[in-house]
Chains A and B, each alone.
Chain A
Amino acid sequence: MTMPLMKPPRKNPVLRTRQMNLPPGARGRVALGLMAAAAEGRFALQVCADCGALQYPPREACHRCLSPRLPWQAQTGEGELLAATTLAHSNDLFFRERLPWRLGMVRLDAGASVMVHLHGEVGEAPCRVRVGARLDRAGQAVLIGYPEKGTAHMADDTMLREMTSDPKHRKVLVTDGKSPVGQAVARAMAQAGADIVWVGHAEPWKQLPGLAELAALPQVTLVPLDVTDERSVNERAGEIGGKVDIVVNTAELHRGFGIAARRGTDVAKSEMEVNYFGLLRLAQAFGPALKGRAADGATHATAWVNLLSVYALANFPSHGTFSASKAAALSLAQCLRAEMRGAGIRVVNVFPGPIDDEWNQNLPPPKLAPAALASAIVKALRDGVEDVYPGDVAQEWLARWRDNPKVLERELAAGGM
């Protein structure tokens, strides 16, 4: 049974803040396929298209028939723990600082034998386990052996917490609390056990529905924060940047126009100011402190969440300038991820389809409820997932985009959701 994580004591300010040493991060090109699936929360292995043999570790040619046709297929992960050991010593700095560390060898029912990090609730070998893939602190895929049936606090396992970004006892900044999504995210973070939820509040003279009720939650503190204002972003980073463990950038400006439907560039510029430059300002101001605290105790800095849009993948012309701003934000978020990964901070990109808010009022359902989006964000943090496509529309667009982006482009040009 896993003991629930208690709120850690206050930090001793005379001790040096522990710095991050990442676990081994080198992987070959083929092995990155494991990461690509784990980034979305899936465990996939290569299966030979010719002879059906399951492959592990990832490779260029089938270990049985030498076929190069090795597509990735989702795995159930059911298997048997053959052997387990507990590391009491390691020359690798990451593991050295986290000893003891339990490892095991699992024989998957599907065929291969794999090396896994063992969850504390897994008993002695032999026993049944379930294997899943997770991203580790270096952003690389590793395999985890879970108990067949876990207990209530299994997410608090110390090994598993190294792979996830659970908001529990953490301090979270939600950059804009004025939108229904921002408010839903702030509430979800409070419900998930966040210690403090700072909620950005731009243009304080505009009192929007729900804000007063949100501010009444004991975990929530409204802070002046306008992502279009460099000084505002820098001032807030100066005040709270050294305490924020998770940034959730919910600031978004969405107006439904293509090129011809609205004269001028003022609206498109405003979208870029919030959706693209807002992210850039936040990343410059809050990024460094976040990186410096990636190993700061049990509730260290851990993640940066971007509210993007599935329109970032392919332009939806009736929301054309918004799509373009989100595509720019996606590109920047990839840059942010590259810069943060080396410090052990995970960047989570969220790609919702149309959200059920005032700016999608004329759009027929299905539309993603803000509360559902917020739950998806919390789940992604708990599961250590990097890319999230919440809701039916996002899932369907993603499938079509992966199938053939050119075909999707043409379908969207014809208005086809």
Chain B
Amino acid sequence: MNTTPQDILAGLALALAGGRVRIVDLTQTLSSEFPAIALPPEMGQCQPFRIEQISAYDERGPGWYWNNFSCGEHTGTHFDAPIHWISGRDLPNNSVDTIPVQHFVAPACVIDCSPQVKDDPDYLLTPADIEDYEAKHGRIPAGAWVLMRTDWSKRHDPEAYQNFDETGQHTPGPSTEAVRFLVEQRDVLGFGSEAIGTDAGQGYHLRPPYPCHYYMHGAGRYGLQCLSNLDLLPPAGAMLICPPLKIEKGSGSPLRVLALVGATA
């Protein structure tokens, strides 16, 4: 192939303009109604997203409308950096301001677990699910995102999305074995989920507690959560663009996640 980088970019521009490459938004809208992660009340809490008007073409500012917003780093559709977890705290370049920017544009493999999750909100992704995926769509390349499609983002009612009962939260996530397989055998870039966290709602009771956070971040990998529209992505071949805000020593940030998708895919 003697295609130059300039040819590739020009081709991409043409494909985007012509609709042969589409852009899919994988982001939930930031609003105060969107659920925040809930910890026991005596612990420190992630501030939920809040927005207050500065002015709206009124006596506070006659010609303009703007707001102040506030939120924790882990609000809405957001990115988790390795420094977020104790297992990743001593790694180099482990915060959102120092992560190599190349990692913010990467291919994505989408493993569809929506049939299993339909019957079992506590469903845990298994190594067998990954092998099934690879048998159909090819081996997960090193440096790719693995996204667990569960259609959880279609639960628009915050109560159904959080899915709490007396024993805590019931949302899907990966098993310990699946996380270790992805990190150790496939060298993935990170793991993404549609639910409120990359780990399952009952992930605290796995070994170790919150295995996706523990192993992914311990190996310098990343997390994406509260994703939506994963059903619009092909199992393989999408390209993710997901740069978090450049917060000094930030453990994560809300972000806009976009996917480039071939129209014929």
Query: Which residues of A does B touch, CB under 8 Å?
Result: 203-207, 226, 228-232, 255, 264, 266-267, 270
Contacts and interface: CB of A to CB of B under 8 A. Distances in A.
A230 B52 contact: yes
Given A226-B32, A264-B44, A266-B45, A205 B161 contact: yes
Contact of B45 (A206, A226, A270): A270
Contact of B44 (A204, A206, A229, A266): A266
A214 B45 CA distance: 27
Interface string B146-166: 000000000000110111110
A228 B50 contact: yes
A230 B164 contact: no
Interface residues of B, number: 21
B62 to A, nearest CB: 20
16 contacts: A203-B35, A203-B38, A204-B159, A205-B35, A205-B161, A205-B162, A205-B163, A206-B38, A207-B159, A207-B164, A228-B48, A230-B50, A231-B51, A266-B44, A266-B47, A267-B44
Contact of B164 (A206, A264, A270): A206
Nearest to A255: B42
Given A229-B50, A231-B51, A205 B158 contact: yes
A270 B45 CA distance: 9
Interface in B112-132: none
B102 interface: no
B185 interface: no
Contacts of A204: 158-159
B67 to A, nearest CB: 9
Contacts of B158: 204-205
B53 interface: yes
A204 B48 CA distance: 14
Nearest to A231: B32
A364 B162 CA distance: 36
Nearest to B50: A229
Contacts of B165: 207
Contacts of A205: 35, 38, 158-159, 161-164
Given A228-B48, A232-B32, 16 more contacts: A203-B38, A205-B162, A205-B163, A205-B164, A206-B164, A207-B159, A228-B50, A229-B32, A230-B52, A231-B32, A231-B51, A232-B33, A255-B42, A266-B45, A267-B44, A270-B45
Contacts of A266: 44-45, 47
Interface in B154-189: 158-159, 161-165
A229 B52 CA distance: 8
B32 to A, nearest CB: 4
Nearest to B53: A230
Closest 10 CB pairs of A and B: A205-B162, A229-B32, A230-B52, A205-B159, A204-B159, A205-B158, A205-B164, A205-B35, A266-B44, A231-B32
Given A206-B38, A266-B45, A230 B51 contact: yes
Contacts of B161: 205
Contacts of B47: 266
Nearest to A229: B32
Q: Which of A203, A205, A207, A266 counts the most B-chain CB atoms under 10 A from its CB?
A: A205
A127 to B, nearest CB: 59
A255 B162 CA distance: 25
A39 to B, nearest CB: 34
Nearest to B160: A205
Interface in B25-56: 32-33, 35-36, 38, 42, 44-45, 47-48, 50-53
Interface in B184-225: none
Contacts of B159: 204-205, 207
Contacts of A207: 159, 164-165
Contacts of A229: 32, 48, 50
